[in-house]
C-alpha cells in the first residue's frame, strides 16, 4: 500500500543533469561498498555519500541491486583501465619480473581500493553478478603475461601474485618484493 505524500511544502530540487546524478550515485555506491561491504550498503548511505536526497537513489535505480550493480560496473571498468595501464608499462619494461612486482607494489598502495576489488573478486564465488569483475581481473591479468611468458607460466604467475596480494591485504604487511621477483623468475623460466 505504497506511501503517498500529503502536501510536502517547498522543496529545493537542484541539479538537472540526470547523467551526472546517475554517475554520482554509482560512484557513491562503490565508495560505500568499499567502506561497508555490499551487504551493508543502503540507499541512505549512498544518498548521503553522494550528497543527494534519498529519493534520488530509487529514482535513478529502481532497486538497491541496480544501484549496487551500477557501482560494480564502475569498479569493473576501473579494474580494466588499471590493467590497460599495466599493459602499457609492461610493454616497455626490460625485466618483466621486477616490473611486474613494481606494478603490484604500486597497486597495493591504495589499500582501500585493493580491498574493495578483492572483496568483490572473492564475492564472485557466491554472487554471479560479480563474475564479470572477477573475469576482468583474472583474464585481463593473464592475457597481460601470456605473450611474454606463455600460457603455463602466465597462469602460475597470476596465481602467485593473486595469493601474494591477498596475503598482503589480509596481514597488512608489505610485499617482500625481492623474494617475489625471484619466485616469478623461477616460474617464468619454464620458457627457456
Which residues contact DNA (rule: CB under 7 A)?
Answer: 1-8, 10-18, 21, 40-45, 52-60, 62-65
Please give the Cα distance from 33 to 70 (Å, whole number): 11
Q: Which is nearer to DNA, 58 or 98 (CB)?
A: 58
Q: Does 138 bind a second copy (CB under 8 A)?
A: yes
Q: Work out which of 23, 42, 66, 98 binds a second copy, going by CB under 8 A.
A: 42
Closest CA to 114 of 99, 125, 103: 103
Q: How many CB atoms lie within 10 A of CB 122?
A: 12
Helix axes 43-50, 18-36, angle to 10 degrees: 120
Q: 126 touches which of DNA, a second copy, none (CB within 5 to 8 A by kind)?
A: a second copy
C-alpha cell of residue 168: 598482503
Q: Which is nearer to DNA, 6 or 173 (CB)?
A: 6
CA torsion sign for 61, 69, 112, 42 is positive
Return residues touching a second copy (CB under 8 A).
1-2, 37-42, 64, 115, 118-119, 121-122, 124-126, 134-135, 138, 152, 155-156, 158-164, 166-167, 169-172, 176, 179-180, 182-183, 186-187, 189-190
Amino acid at each position: 500500500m505504497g506511501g503517498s505524500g500529503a502536501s510536502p511544502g517547498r522543496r529545493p530540487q537542484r541539479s538537472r543533469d540526470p547523467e551526472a546524478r546517475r554517475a554520482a550515485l554509482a560512484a557513491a555506491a562503490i565508495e560505500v561498498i568499499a567502506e561497508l561491504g555490499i551487504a551493508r550498503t543502503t540507499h541512505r548511505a549512498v544518498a548521503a555519500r553522494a550528497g543527494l536526497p534519498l529519493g534520488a537513489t530509487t529514482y535513478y535505480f529502481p532497486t538497491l541491486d541496480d544501484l549496487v550493480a551500477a557501482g560494480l560496473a564502475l569498479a569493473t571498468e576501473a579494474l580494466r583501465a588499471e590493467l590497460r595501464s599495466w599493459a602499457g608499462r609492461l610493454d616497455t619494461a626490460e625485466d618483466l619480473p621486477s616490473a611486474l612486482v613494481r606494478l603490484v607494489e604500486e597497486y597495493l598502495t591504495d589499500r582501500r581500493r585493493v580491498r574493495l576489488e578483492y572483496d568483490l573478486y572473492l564475492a564472485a564465488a557466491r554472487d554471479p553478478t560479480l563474475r564479470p569483475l572477477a573475469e576482468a581481473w583474472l583474464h585481463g591479468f593473464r592475457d597481460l603475461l601470456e605473450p611474454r611468458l606463455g600460457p603455463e607460466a602466465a597462469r602460475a604467475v597470476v596465481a602467485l601474485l593473486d595469493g601474494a596480494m591477498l596475503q598482503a591485504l589480509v596481514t597488512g604487511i608489505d610485499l617482500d618484493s625481492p623474494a617475489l621477483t625471484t619466485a616469478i623468475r623461477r616460474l617464468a623460466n619454464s620458457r627457456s
